[in-house]
Structure 1
Amino acid sequence: MIEKILPPWVAAEEAFGDPPDATLFPEEEAVIARAVDKRRREFTTARHCARRALDRLGLPAVPILPGERGAPGWPPGVAGAITHCAGYRAAAVSLDALTVGIDAEPHEPLPDGVLPAIALDRERAALARLGPGVHWDRLLFCAKEAVYKAWFPLTRRWLDFDEAHVTLTRTGTFTARFLVPGPQVLGRELTGFAGRWLAADGLLVTAITVRPADLYGRSTSG
């Protein structure tokens, strides 16, 4: 599913359940030693997906430990991201990307009161113009999560929901414009991201990928 919105130079694996053969390294076991069953299953299957994706790049299985602010710790030279929600887990990795951000959410409305907390006034106004067929409020949240996951490895800084303006389209794309200074990447300030989205099988998925070439006028979404 998620590979449909990722470029060919990104390896992705996903799971719609928790396979019984998914296992953890001892270092990972230590991280979730006190976790409830739901958290343990999410964590384990997401790492299973991540190792399968790394294998597609020709890389060995290694522990993938949460680092600063919970960001996955990838092997040197790898950019990647992990996501999980009810009934879905996925990982995407690349040796060619500067950063990768993915997110998945159930294709349902956001809980009451969440949209005002995550959306700018002009974003909420834009959602109302997009029309029926998609839970745009949840998709906006999903896109903003992908934005943060792509932002953090480049900056090591937090990005609040109101610090990026996201514009969704009905054609499966979105853009994010930073409202705070962006990261300096290869001598240039990155002012935003372009991404893609998909609604299928009761899920929403979003993806952002950035290569060095993308900083010189080429597509930032693959």
Structure 2
Amino acid sequence: MIGRVVPETVARAEAFDDALPGLPDPRELALLRGQPEAIVRRFAAARSCAHRCLDQLAVPPGPLLRTPDGGPKWPPGVVGSITHCAGYRGAVAARADVWAALGVDAEPALPLPRGVLDLVTTAPERRMVAELSRRSPEVPWDRLLFSAKESVYKAWHPATGRWIGTRAIEVTLTADGLLTALVRPERTQPPRARQRSAATGDGVPRPMGGAYPYRGRWDTGDGLLLTAVAVPGVETAGRPDARSAARLSV
């Protein structure tokens, strides 16, 4: 399933249970000391997917620990993203010169709890969800929109170190599986401790009119929703088809 939402040159792995191909790294398990067994097993299964991605990239083995912000600490020169929800664990990774930032998110294919949509979306997004729901009611578009925002944030935050709220991420979804998003940092006034300078450098798309554009794909099946975005790296950005490559997985 994950292969349908990321470019071909992105390493990917997924699992639909917590069965492990090998023993987890004890240094990773130490991050969850004292946590319930179910959380540890879910963490280990997701980390196993991430290690399978690193194996595909021929990265030397080693523990995948945490950054100070709590995200996965990928090896130097590698970017990636990990996701898990009920019945699904997945990960993607790439060399940073090929894809400068990645974000992936999985969600159950169920509507959001009542009231959540209004909290996390803008009025144009709610109108989009209403129209798409009228045309394709079998898709929980509200949850899909939330998932797309999560994927964008997972690409944005590791590259910038800057927290943004969900309304600072403006998403457009199409019925044929594409998603685009504009990050508008000025819509968020983060707590003083989280404030950062304007986004610059590797992993951040070139701004357009003050907003940062992201592109990706979404898919649904087997009771799951999956979204992903990819920011081209220096090797990909110069290609004539970089825009479509960022959106298409096959």
User: Which TM bucket (shorter chain)?
Assistant: over 0.9
Tell me the matched-pair count.
222
Q: Which runs of 5+ in 1 are unaligned?
A: none
Change (3 A) 1:154 1:216: farther
- Provide the rounded CA distance (Å) in 2 between the counterparts of 1:195 and 1:20: 29
Q: Which runs of 5+ in 2 are unaligned?
A: 187-197
Which protein, 1 or 2, shows the higher relative CO under an 8 Å CA cutoff with sep ≥ 6? 2
Q: 2:144 aligns with which of 133, 139, 143?
A: 139
Q: Deviations over 1:42-64 (max 9, x none)?
A: 21001111111111111232211
Alignment partner of 1:35 is 2:61: no
Q: Is the 8 A contact 1:23 1:44 kept in 2?
A: no
2:80 is aligned to 80
Change (3 A) 1:215 1:122: farther
TM-score (norm 1): 0.93
1:122 is aligned to 124
Shift of 1:13: 0.5
- Provide the rounded CA distance (Å) in 2 between the counterparts of 1:149 and 1:188: 14
Alignment partner of 1:202 is 2:223: yes
Indicate the percent of aligned positions where both proteins have the same amino acid: 42
Q: Deviations over 1:154-212 (max 9, x none)?
A: 11111210111101110101111122267323697331101100011110000111123
TM-score (norm 2): 0.83
- Provide the rounded CA distance (Å) in 2 between the counterparts of 1:185 and 1:216: 20
- Provide the rounded CA distance (Å) in 1 between the counterparts of 2:71 and 2:20: 25
2:201 is aligned to 185
- Provide the rounded CA distance (Å) in 2 between the counterparts of 1:101 and 1:215: 21
- Provide the rounded CA distance (Å) in 2 between the counterparts of 1:22 and 1:111: 37
Q: Is the 8 A contact 1:79 1:94 kept in 2?
A: yes
Alignment partner of 1:166 is 2:171: yes
Change (3 A) 1:125 1:180: same
